[in-house]
Amino acid sequence: MKIELSQVSRWYGNVVAVNDVTMTIGPGVTGLLGPNGAGKSTLLHMMAGFLAPSNGTVTLDGTRVWKNHDIYRHIGLVPEREGVYGFLTGWQFVLSAAKLHGLPDPDAAARKALATVEMEEPKDRRVETYSKGMRQRVKVAAALVHDPAVLLLDEPFNGMDPRQRLHLMDLIKTMGAAGKTILFSSHILEEVERVAQHIEVLVSGRHAASGDFREIRRLMTDRPHLFKIRSSDDRALAAALIRDQSAGGITLRPDGLEVQATEFRRFARLLPRVARAEGVHLLEVSPADEDLESVFSYLINRSA
Amino acid sequence: MNTVVAGITYRALLGRRRVVLLLLLPMALVGLAVLLLAFGAADQRTAMQLMDKFAIGTMLPLLGLIAGTGVIAPEIDDGTILHLMSKPISRPVIVQTKFLVAASLLALFAAVPTYAAGWLLVRNEDGIAPGFALGALVAGVAYAAVFLLLGIVTRHAVTIGIVYALVWEGLVGNFVPGARKLSIQQWAKSIADQISDSAFLRADVTISFAVPALVVVTVIAVVWAGRRLRVFSLTGDE
């Protein structure tokens, strides 16, 4: 099954949360990547039928999602908020999901779903006694109980320990390989890269980039980088570097150089060569803008 | 009606400490009746006052508020409602189920204790106890619907509900004669008056107005609540 968004916007008063997004989410694993506040949750809520687009349409295999509770036969949703009844046991929670779906054998479905997320052992404890990761897993189990063709997960790895994270990643990959349509949101590139075959990047409500992880990684690494460099002779190094086209600009500061590299790979090879040729010792080379915010702001400026 | 939704809702409301909220007022009502009995003040006039001022006038709207908003507002607040709404069940069915749960709780925690307190004081004399019990039952159903709707349309349901129950029904209803017509409490009294022959009871609203009004308010509130839940939006933190 596929989810199609066509020129979807959503605004709250004067604030635009999602701006004219068109994308198709097909079978396999898609990662929705973007910094916090980019509108990922808003977009996901619109896909899950929990928010009306202010403009545009969201459809699941051609049928409109908004005000249509029949879509939940095909969609499993793992919301970001806890949203689990603390007074129920894990078993009761997942079983209730199976019954709410009207499954023919709710017991078997609930058992299978709990086994899938490795929650059989603590299933008879109340949800309120669970750790955050365990709650996340029963939520996933409840979302999987009817074996949906589409699974939507909002920041699913938040609050999980590394082992649980790996396990959920494997689970998502396996389901994606089995032909399910899976979309999950995250603000961590490495997370998305490990799991998703396809990545959609959302920045400030706009669809900034789309492609497989290699393309996104290339877009992100081939952007201009800013390096801080300390060496035995900053001035000589600066003079030598500026001769090459990969160095866009150099600022000489009392505590070292700031080099704007226009081509990351070329510059990475150039720097040690030049230093050796000039007889300059490199004391420190560090990227000054490796944080995600600057990567994203580069992407959004590029697409604008 | 969906039994799974009903089961979860009952557990949420009756589980652990929350049930105390529902028990407190009916226990106070029966306790007062026992006290009056002990001090030999169990006459029709006192019974009428207790029924009118406390059972219908105070306990019923407050329990209506606790049960009516309690079946849905906390779930909307903490997001657990998504568990029910992300299922192939129509939203009006979720609302109707929650309404039935609230109404049944009011029957149990408001109408039954009202009858018990009345019976303790004057037995079934002049139909006071059954009259007020039926009034509490029907009005409880209407309160359940109205406060359920309130719990869906606003996050300040409890505040607004208290203002409505105490200020509108308690004050305005008592001082402005016309406003009494638009008061669930007065409709309950009207039903009690219909059943009871007591000379101490005199309702301001005729039964021919009260009954249709109760039906209309209940139906409109439940239908409207269903529609509101259908367009329920998750606005999230962004």
What lies within 8 Å, CB to CB, of B95 at 6+ separation is B72, B148, B152, B222, B225, B226, B229
Supply B154's token pair. Answer: 């606003």
| Sheet strands (E) in chain A | 3-12, 15-25, 28-33, 55-60, 63-64, 75-78, 150-153, 181-186, 198-203, 206-212, 225-231, 247-253, 256-261, 282-287
Chains A, B: CB pairs < 8 Å: 92
Mean pLDDT, residues A224-245: 89
Query: What is the distance of C-alpha B216 from the center of its chain?
Result: 16
Q: Which residue has the higher pLDDT, A157 or A246?
A: A157
Determine the residue type at B74: P
- How far apart are alpha carbons A147 and A142 in whole angstroms? 10
Give the contacts of A183 (CB within 8 A, at least 6 positions apart): A3, A25, A29, A30, A31, A32, A44, A47, A150, A151, A152, A153
Least confident of A34-43, A174-183, A208-217, B110-119: A208-217
pTM: 0.88
Question: Could you tell me the strand order of the sheet in which A181-186 lies?
Answer: A75-78, A150-153, A181-186, A28-33, A198-203, A206-212
Digit-coded pLDDT (tens) for B22-32:
999 999 999 99
Q: What is the token pair recorded at A129? A: 């006694």
Choose among A12, A72, A84: nearest Cβ to B80.
A84
Residues 28-67 of A with CB under 8 A from B: 37-42, 45, 48, 50-52, 67
* Chain A contact set for B236 (CB, 8 A): 41-42, 45, 80
Do residue A82 and residue B79 have CB atoms under 8 angstroms apart? Answer: yes
pLDDT of B135 > 90? The answer is: yes
User: Which residue of chain B comes nearest to A16, CA vs CA?
Assistant: B238
pLDDT, residue B238, reads: 37
Residues on chain B touching A70 (C-beta within 8 angstroms): 88
Q: Taking residues B74-93, what's their average pLDDT?
A: 95
Please state, as a whole number, how many other Cβ atoms lie within 10 Å of the Cβ of residue A22. 12
Q: What is the pLDDT of residues A46-61, one digit of tens each?
A: 999 999 999 999 999 9
DSSP state of B17: T
On the question of pLDDT at B68 being above 50, the answer is yes
> Is the Cβ of A107 closer than 8 Å to some Cβ of chain B?
no
Chain B CB within 8 Å of residue A81 CB: yes
Whether pLDDT at A304 is above 60: no
Which chain A residue lies closest to B80 (C-alpha atoms)?
A83
| Two tokens, residue A288 | 């000054």
Segment B79-106 shows an average pLDDT of 97
Domain ranges of chain B: 3-230
Residues contacting residue A79 through CB under 8 Å, at least 6 positions apart: A139, A154, B79, B82, B234
Residue labelled with tokens 């029957």: B107
- Residue A56: DSSP 8-state: E
How large is the average pLDDT for residues A95-99?
97
Q: Which residue of B has its CA nearest to A140?
A: B83
Q: Domains of chain A (ranges plus CATH)?
A: 3-220 (3.40.50.300), 224-303 (3.30.70)
DSSP per-residue string spanning A168-211: HHHHHHHHHHTT-EEEEEES-HHHHHHH-SEEEEEETTEEEEEE
| Residue B154 clears pLDDT 70, i.e. is over it | yes
Of A278-287, B96-105, B222-231, minimum mean pLDDT range? A278-287
**Scanning every residue of chain A, which has its alpha carbon at the shortest distance from the alpha carbon of B16?**
A87
Interface contact flag, A100 B232, Cβ < 8 Å = no
Q: Are the beta carbons of A79 and B79 separated by less than 8 Å?
A: yes
> Rounded mean pLDDT of B105-128?
95
CB atoms within 10 A of CB A223: 19
Average pLDDT, chain B: 92
A72 and B86 in contact by Cβ < 8 A? yes
Quick one: which of B195, B67, B77 has its CA closest to B130? B195
Report the pLDDT value the prediction gives residue A209, as an integer from 0 to 100: 87
C-beta atoms of A72 and B230 within 8 A:
no
**Distance (Å) from the alpha carbon of B178 to chain A's nearest alpha carbon:** 40
Total number of residues shown for chain A: 304
Q: How far is A37 from chain B (nearest CA, A)?
A: 5
pLDDT of residue A214: 80
According to DSSP, residue B52 is labeled I
* Under 8 Å between Cβ of A171 and A116: yes
**pLDDT of B159 over the 60 cut:** yes
